[in-house]
Amino acid sequence: MVLQEQIDRHKLPEHVAIIMDGNGRWAKEKGKNRIIGHKNGVSAVRDIVEGAAEIGIKYLTLYTFSTENWNRPKFEVSALMELMVTTMSNEIKKLKENHIRLNAIGNLASLPKKVYNKLQESIAETSANQGLTLTLALSYSSRWEIVNAAQKIAKQVANNQLKPEDITEQLLSAHLNTANMPDPALMIRTGGEYRVSNYLLWQLAYAELYFSPKLWPDFFKEDLFAAILDYQKRERRFGLISEQLN
């Protein structure tokens, strides 16, 4: 039986977040330029998005470019930005055909104008779609996001729009980039590393973590399905004990 057929559609994680790690190492192992790894990583993105949509995942968030990634060699950053524009142009038709809505989080204002404009254009073109919401975390840092939320709340307190005692978990969540989506129930990281790398730190509080040794260009929908099946075997207690759940 193929993995997809083993998945219980009634126990799907509503939101899956992925750290797509290993493009550069994949290219290095093959004696190729790191950019080739990123280009091959696009094929993995396409397959994972397709697989998530097939089984009914509602939200998929991909760690596409972190604020720390700006410190990489200028050639690589420039090539990555150009790749993003090309990919969005090439994939927009398929996103619309599959009713996938594109979204983005992060310090989007820091993106090059060409990338920012294409991103906003693609988001607008898919805004009416009712299927999977595909979110790209671009120029994203969870610490930046939390500080940004705290600053917004502090301004409201300073303007007497809020009292300090009004600040709750729900209020802070409402000021995060992810305010309009549920927290991830499952976070997947490829590439064999065991860390979350400043990704959705607040939102991952109760997420199940799944680490794959596969480098991102080698991670496809069957690997996603394996992660979903592993998730479905776990008991999510949220601080309770098993007997309370039953």
**For the stretch 69-85, what's the b/e string if a residue is b when 16 or more beta carbons lie within 10 angstroms of its beta carbon?**
beeeeeeeeebbbebbb
User: Which of 21, 23, 40, 103 does the annotation list as catalytic?
Assistant: 21
Give the residue carrying structure tokens 């619309």: 96
User: Which of 33, 47, 69, 198 does the annotation list as catalytic?
Assistant: 69
How far apart (Å, rounded) are the C-alpha atoms in residues 150 and 228?
34
Token couple for 94: 């398929």
CA angle at 203 for the pair 205 and 37, rounded to the nearest 5° = 110
Cβ–Cβ under 8 Å, residues 13 and 91? no
Nearest to 216 by CA among 50, 30, 73, 48: 48
Active site residue 69: yes
Give the residue carrying structure tokens 């991952």: 204
**For the stretch 200-218, what's the b/e string if a residue is b when 16 or more beta carbons lie within 10 angstroms of its beta carbon?**
bebbbeebbebbbebbbbb
Cβ–Cβ under 8 Å, residues 104 and 136? yes
CA angle at 102 for the pair 101 and 105, rounded to the nearest 5° = 135
Could you give the residue numbers annotated as active site? Answer: 21, 69
